[in-house]
Structure 1
């Protein structure tokens, strides 16, 4: 659940010291965490010299990666290691409210909080100050959230370019140089036998659904039919839970109808009215904002978190359902990574967490620097700077997506240098 109702928002500032991030790198804790928790066991960095040039020039540096997996902020630690520079990163407030250890580790690695349910001026000013000072490069994920679709890019948030332009203007006044943006393409590639992995994961899901598991088969067509069948079962369960019965027909209109039903009910509960042309993400954000603000506006003795939790969870579900893109499993476009991502989304929905058991390699590609103009972006239209970031990321992802194996192609052996972790206990 991404809306925290246990306590009001309190800004978590970044840790500016070098001791902790240096120790984390020297002890290879990033490698250990990624291998054990995320099964990301190898990496490749491309065009690192572009990043080196911006560091050597003394620019204020903003990194804008695509955001497809929870591992993304951590894998950028490998980029940090190769350039011997630490990084700052903006992270959602709810990530600092999991465990005391994770909150401690996040901050020591350079993360600071952003309150997605409101206007967090302190977080924005902190991000601007980091770029103005040039103390360290700053990571901002312009998509805002992750949804396990490595080959597709969600619409970008305009706050990224507001921060960059404001910092560029301040740097210009101070005469301290430029602010540049490096779009970063992250692409995860499967290193194991996806057919066997998919068969085993689908068998477990079929058992959870009280079905007789299908005979073990590595036939791609059979596995794909099983995956679509499990996907439909999950959708039907949510239709029964929230609409009283399962509907029939194609999955897309059924999914869209359920999303609309979830959002409309939440908006009614919170006294909101959807604006014409609003997307799902805009409506979800307003619902989350209303849930948080209305709850904490009540006297403590009158706060019943249950109805607020229900609306927040329903909004999260609507956004989650949208993360099952129709074009991801079209004939002729199915890759092993798309199969893995789709199964893991279903696992997250049913188990509450993903079973990270497929060894992955991540490609980290650094794009050319984009110089940020100091002028304010045009009003009433999409910022051209944001369009440029979007185009660069889409170009990289389209090219990188072709490196994944077509589903059903022979698997390749895992070849990981001895210095990087492979065995997972």
Structure 2
């Protein structure tokens, strides 16, 4: 069978094969030993990885003692960070080192299918798989069991995926509160104590010359688009229009690729129209019904699930059928991934008067991912890791038909911390 990755999409986590068609899903359990995670910490392997692969060269911990207190109290501890960069799961290793513990973390199954070494390393650092395209009971039960036994803190990213928007929070998934509440009920029934949730805010701050970096990266993008690169400039009044032009060029290319021609007008309605075109085409192909209030994320998840279900329905062992052509299914998976990726360009992120150096870097890196397949992690970063006070998880659900009170509290806490941290970035409009 040919390598599906050759033409597979780059997903929102920066990896090939969001939908895996080489074999059906199988749960990857966490490694529960302490030898490997202890060795990783002792040898400072996460520091090397973050410096080399993610250009995250420094960190600052704030209120780590709050986590220490919860662990010392014997609580089942859930860490709920915002998810803004691919480095997020690894930088939490610095927090674990500070409080002398190891972590378990839920990770998308496709991350275990990039290469053998990464799959090996993920498990040894405490990760276990979740099948995002379906109902993964085994992953959920594993997460609940970790909280009930209080063996280690559990990391769950309540946004689900990342899209390089450090100052904005995506809608939170209710699976996080379900896992926490179920574990709290089991602990209460067994007389084992509490389950607590710590919101954790992650904020990346640029350490280098952002204006020079932005100019260089934009000139490379302009060259990739066969444009004559603009002369070097550190003037935000020149850099920001160039960034807008490159964004518009990428959108026009995708319109031509999928619709047949580029449209005119403002970027937001054009983006939304292309997202709707991509999703509705896939939904018709798989006969999926949508409701008026279905989010783009929910529609994308449903399409991914339909792609995998349809592909494996033809043959449960595709590897034994060399004549099988996964290409049509990969095309549909790529369309769903593109729709979600397009949504990761927030409308309000580059409003005049609110533009920081980190926002410019994130926007350029999203475009690099779109054009090159991978962002250029060349801007030195420092990450601030701030731990909030523990939220005691009630075993009881809120009133039926009302917003989940636990999720609302988590959302409010994270937003408050992220707004405060966003003010620590430099104003890009004043170099």
Same fold by TM-score greater than 0.5: yes
* 1:359-384 Cα deviation digits (max 9, x unpaired): 00000000000000011344333211
Cα distance change, pair 192–401 in 1 and its aligned pair in 2 (3 A): same
Residue 391 in structure 1 maps to residue 383 in structure 2:
no
The residue that corresponds to 1:420 in the other structure is none
After TM superposition, give the deviation of residue 303 of structure 1 in Å: 4.3
Q: How many residues align?
A: 410
Residue 103 in structure 1 maps to residue 119 in structure 2:
yes
Structure 1, unaligned runs of 5 or more: 411-425
> Please, which of 308, 316, 337 is the counterpart of residue 337 of structure 2?
316
Segment drifting more, 306-315 vs 370-379: 370-379
User: Which aligned segments of 4 or more residues in structure 1 are displaced greater than 4 angstroms?
Assistant: 300-303
Residue 346 in structure 1 maps to residue 367 in structure 2:
yes
The residue that corresponds to 1:259 in the other structure is 275
Partner SS for 2:340: helix
Residue 184 in structure 1 maps to residue 184 in structure 2:
no
> Please, which of 402, 418, 421 is the counterpart of residue 400 of structure 1?
421
The residue that corresponds to 2:303 in the other structure is 287
* 1:69-125 Cα deviation digits (max 9, x unpaired): 000000000000000100000000000000100000000000000000100000000
> Please, which of 67, 89, 104 is the counterpart of residue 83 of structure 2?
67
The residue that corresponds to 1:127 in the other structure is 143
> TM-score with structure 1 length normalisation?
0.95
Partner SS for 2:240: helix
The residue that corresponds to 1:421 in the other structure is none
The residue that corresponds to 2:254 in the other structure is 238
Partner SS for 1:365: strand
After TM superposition, give the deviation of residue 330 of structure 1 in Å: 0.3
After TM superposition, give the deviation of residue 409 of structure 1 in Å: 3.7
Distance across 1 between alignment mates of 2:24 and 2:397? 33
**Correspondences of 1:106-185 after superposition (within 5 Å):** 106-185=122-201
Distance across 2 between alignment mates of 1:336 and 1:60? 38
Residue 334 in structure 1 maps to residue 350 in structure 2:
no
Partner SS for 1:253: helix
Distance across 1 between alignment mates of 2:181 and 2:326? 39
Distance across 1 between alignment mates of 2:41 and 2:398? 38
After TM superposition, give the deviation of residue 273 of structure 1 in Å: 1.8
* 1:232-267 Cα deviation digits (max 9, x unpaired): 000000000000000010000000000000000010
Structure 2, unaligned runs of 5 or more: 1-16
After TM superposition, give the deviation of residue 408 of structure 1 in Å: 3.9
Distance across 1 between alignment mates of 2:227 and 2:286? 39
For the 8 Å contact 1:62–1:140, the answer to whether it is kept is yes
For the 8 Å contact 2:397–2:404, the answer to whether it is kept is no
> TM-score with structure 2 length normalisation?
0.94
Partner SS for 1:327: coil
